[in-house]
Amino acid sequence: MPTKNPRINVSVEKPIYSIIETLAKEKGVSISMVTRDLIKEALEIYEDVFLANFAEEREKTFGKDMSLSHEEVWE
């Protein structure tokens, strides 16, 4: 069935292909769907790491004198 989604061609080593193929068989889905889901999961992890690093940098510049109380925030 044709799709309107963009496509990516990826070459992987045989062991990686075998793992993806096994996952696809276990889940009863296509290799393409397993690969797509793994990419999505990797991007979520990448985003989490980026945001954690960003938060750590912001935390270094934070001072109590800059903070607002609960009441001040909800005024």
- pLDDT at residue 21, rounded to an integer: 98
Report yes or no on 53 lying in a domain. Answer: yes
Split at pLDDT 50, 70, 90, the class of 66 is: confident
Report yes or no on 20 lying in a domain. Answer: yes
Residue 31 CB partners (closer than 8 Å, separation 6+): 20, 21, 24
Report yes or no on 58 lying in a domain. Answer: yes
15-55: per-residue pLDDT in tens?
999 999 999 999 999 999 999 999 999 999 999 999 999 99
- pLDDT at residue 25, rounded to an integer: 98
Report yes or no on 54 lying in a domain. Answer: yes
**For 40-62, b where at least 16 C-beta lie within 10 A, e where not — what string?**
eeeeeeeeeeeeeeeeeeeeeee
Report yes or no on 24 lying in a domain. Answer: yes
Report yes or no on 72 lying in a domain. Answer: no
Report yes or no on 55 lying in a domain. Answer: yes
- pLDDT at residue 65, rounded to an integer: 83
Per the structure, the complete domain to which residue 56 belongs is given by: 14-62
Report yes or no on 8 lying in a domain. Answer: no
Number of domains observed in the structure of the chain: 1
What pTM value is reported for the model?
A: 0.73
